[in-house]
Amino acid sequence: MVYRVTFVCTGNICRSPMAEHIVRRRFADAGLDAEVDSSGTGGWHEGDPADSRTVAVLRRAGYTSAHRARQFLPAWFDRYDLVVALDRGHHRALRAMAATERDRAKVRLLREFDPDADSLDVPDPYYGGNAGFDLVRAQIEAAVPGLIAEIRAHRASDPLPG
């Protein structure tokens, strides 16, 4: 059974597409049967490619980078097993969109899966320099092992809501 995960940030051009590409590859490397994509809480970048700095960081690290931004829609909760917010603002916005407790339970913060995280937020690198994009990549990569372990644990017993 395919497990479906989406990553959500603000405009879907920096953090969430980076998470999408990193996690998609890491899931494939781990042998997880999963579909991974991303979206934003806002729609002002719909149809745009990922920020050029996101693309550069992904390519330098050996990941794919093809992307078109889109906005998360409340009806999509039925489509996903897990909706991963990149910061607490996205988490609040997604939980507010959720019509049911079942849907709210699908919303998690990415850094919850990193036991060494010093904050639950992945900072928005958009208004900063290239170093912010490298930090985002490192934070996403640090959360991947915990995310994989969580999915495997839930698949072995009870699946996550969905």
Q: Cα–chain-centroid distance for residue 120?
A: 13
Q: Identify the structural domains of the chain with CATH numbers, from first to last.
A: 3-156 (3.40.50.2300)
Q: What is the pLDDT of residue 153?
A: 86
Label residue 41 by pLDDT band (50, 70, 90): very high
Label residue 60 by pLDDT band (50, 70, 90): very high
Q: What is the pLDDT of residue 158?
A: 55
User: 4 pairs with which residues across the strands?
Assistant: 35
Q: Which of 117-121, 135-139, 157-161 has the lowest mean pLDDT?
A: 157-161
Tokens 């690290």, located at residue: 61
Q: In the predicted model, what is the mean pLDDT of residues 42-68?
A: 97
Judge whether residue 111 has pLDDT over 60. yes
Q: What is the pLDDT of residue 162?
A: 45
Could you give the residue numbers annotated as active site? 9, 15, 124
Q: What is the pLDDT of residue 159?
A: 46
**Separation between Cα atoms, residue 84 and residue 23, nearest integer Å:** 11
Q: What is the pLDDT of residue 54?
A: 98
Residues 6 or more apart whose CB falls under 8 angstroms from that of 115 comprise 146
